[in-house]
């Protein structure tokens, strides 16, 4: 009897061991299959771009646009007080615009100033949205505007440009009393472009808010599947660092950005926002993930981007387009082998044409200025190419986010069905 009982107990032990080993094997296989599915999903999402599958990408992008419109309209309809306030404000504005009276002069001023403010704010937002795929509007718009004001200050000897047409067009003042013989100083040129530069910087700060709110909402919901990919990537980098694996310079920069924001706080965010920093999107996501208060994040970002960083960029552009430095730059082009002399001609013609356009009395431009149009047309094509790239990146991003959202919904429904089958 003892032998039979011991043999039965041994059989039970081996059976439990086999069952546990089978269960662990099943768990491992399930984890491996899940990882392979995630890799396939990530590969599928990354391949969803216009140059690989244009029709599919456009389809998903259109679905994402419709989803965003429907979601935002539903949110607005649920907030009736806000909806009524918006309708009332728009109705009042339309009545004031289309009702004749003495107030129309004030309306015209508000129109021009409002367009000016929205224009530069919008360009700033476009520059920072999209997690690195934003339109580089400083290089395309604000930088050339500051450069034009600087060149005009040296040519006209004054900053009292007639308004209108300034800021849409820069012309030297006709009144001789407004034209000086002394070139305006660096600080006076900075003051001339301060307002539009501040608006552009404030727009870039506003563009950093979506990643912050996304990461904060995901953290508060407690759903790890809703965490932004950048947070998951940072966690992987932390694990690799703890294991002693070698990281490249870009990955080290990401971890350093996270450490600065997490440990230093307000002044860390201010430091990251005050210098040209392609990794600042990670600062917004990190602040949202660690539930940094809104005004602490936005205040530091606004001061850094709209005040400190903008002054650094303005000084750089104004010094770079100093008349003496421009002349030296054109002279140095001659030292470039083979093409140096050929490059000098369009650059000289371009700057001569710009100077001639600053004076009203020059009805006809010199023949050499037509050669400078080549440089201007090249820049126009460059701007057009950048805008096309920005639009394409937006379409790709919309399509990928739609595909990811639909796959997550499909995965959650299938897991619910599987759990229901197990319970039954």
Q: Residues 345, 371: contact at Cβ < 8 Å?
A: yes
- Per-residue model confidence as pLDDT tens digits over 386-418: 788 878 888 888 888 888 888 777 765 544 444
Of 278, 306, 254, residue with least CA distance to 130: 278
Please name which of 65, 28, 40 lies closest in space to residue 402, comparing C-alpha atoms. 65
What CA–CA distances, in Å, run from 180 to 148, 159, 175, 177? 18, 9, 10, 7
Give the Cα-Cα-Cα angle 143, 260, 198 (nearest 5 degrees).
25
Ramachandran region, residue 368 (left: φ > 0; alpha: ψ -120 to 50; beta: rest):
alpha
What pLDDT score does 150 carry? 87
Those residues with Cβ within 8 angstroms of residue 408's Cβ, 6 or more apart along the chain or in another chain:
225
pLDDT: is 124 or 40 the higher one?
Answer: 124
The pLDDT mean for the chain works out to 74
pLDDT for 286-315, tens place per residue?
777 777 888 888 998 899 889 998 998 898
- Give the span between the Cα atoms of 250 and 241, in whole angstroms: 13
Helices and strands: H and E segment counts in the chain: 18, 0
Question: Which strand (E) or helix (H) includes residue 4?
Answer: helix 2-46
The answer to whether 155 touches 111, Cβ cutoff 8 Å, is no
Which conformational region is residue 171 in: left (phi greater than 0), alpha (psi within -120 to 50 degrees), or beta?
Answer: beta
DSSP three-state, residue 283: helix
Q: Which two tokens stand for residue 333?
A: 């082009």
* DSSP string for residues in 197-233: HHHHHHHHHHHTHHHHHHHHHHHHHT-GGGS-HHHHH
Domain boundaries, the chain: 56-99
DSSP-derived secondary structure letter, 176:
G
DSSP 22-66: HHHHHHHHHHHHHHHHHHHHHHHHHT-STTT-HHHHHHHHHHHHH
pTM of the model: 0.70
pLDDT at site 416? 47
pLDDT for residue 374 is more than 90:
no
Q: Does residue 198 register a pLDDT over 90?
A: yes
DSSP code of residue 166: T
Q: Which two tokens stand for residue 331?
A: 């002279």
Average pLDDT over residues 164-192: 75
């Amino acid at each position: 009897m003892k032998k039979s009982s011991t043999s039965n107990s041994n059989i039970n032990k081996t059976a439990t061991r086999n069952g546990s080993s089978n269960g662990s094997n099943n768990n491992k296989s399930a984890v491996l299959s899940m990882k392979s599915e995630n890799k396939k999903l990530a590969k599928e999402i990354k391949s969803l771009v216009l140059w690989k599958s244009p029709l599919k990408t456009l389809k998903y992008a259109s679905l994402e646009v419709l989803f965003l419109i429907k979601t935002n309209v539903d949110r607005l309809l649920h907030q009736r007080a806000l909806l009524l306030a918006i309708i009332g404000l728009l109705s009042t504005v339309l009545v004031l615009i289309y009702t004749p009276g003495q107030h129309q002069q004030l309306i015209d001023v508000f129109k021009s100033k409002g367009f000016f403010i929205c224009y530069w704010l919008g360009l700033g937002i476009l520059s920072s949205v999209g997690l690195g795929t934003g339109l580089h509007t400083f290089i395309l718009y604000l930088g050339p505007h500051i450069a034009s004001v600087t060149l005009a200050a040296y040519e006209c000897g004054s900053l009292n440009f007639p308004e209108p047409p300034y800021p849409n067009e820069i012309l030297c003042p006709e009144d001789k009393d407004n034209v000086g013989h002394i070139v305006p100083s660096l600080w006076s040129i900075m003051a001339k472009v301060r307002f539009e530069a501040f608006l552009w910087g404030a727009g870039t700060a506003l563009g950093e808010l979506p990643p912050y709110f996304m990461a904060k909402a995901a953290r508060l919901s407690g759903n790890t599947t809703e965490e932004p990919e950048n947070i998951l990537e940072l966690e992987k980098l932390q694990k690799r660092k703890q294991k002693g694996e070698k990281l490249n310079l870009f990955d080290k920069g990401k971890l350093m950005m996270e450490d600065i924001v997490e440990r230093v706080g307000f002044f860390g965010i201010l430091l990251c926002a005050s210098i040209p920093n392609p990794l600042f999107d990670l600062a917004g996501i990190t602040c949202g993930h660690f539930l940094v208060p809104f005004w602490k994040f936005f205040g530091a970002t606004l001061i850094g981007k709209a005040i400190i960083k903008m002054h650094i960029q303005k000084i750089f552009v104004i010094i770079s387009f100093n008349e003496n430095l421009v002349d030296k730059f054109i002279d140095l082009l001659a030292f470039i082998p083979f093409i140096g002399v050929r490059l000098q001609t369009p650059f000289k013609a371009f700057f001569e044409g710009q100077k001639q356009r600053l004076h009203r009395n020059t009805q006809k431009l010199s023949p050499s200025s037509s050669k400078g149009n080549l440089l201007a047309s090249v820049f126009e094509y460059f701007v057009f190419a950048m805008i096309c790239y920005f639009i394409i990146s937006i379409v790709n991003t919309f399509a990928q986010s739609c595909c990811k959202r639909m796959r997550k919904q499909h995965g959650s429904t299938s897991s619910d069905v599987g759990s229901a089958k197990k319970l039954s």
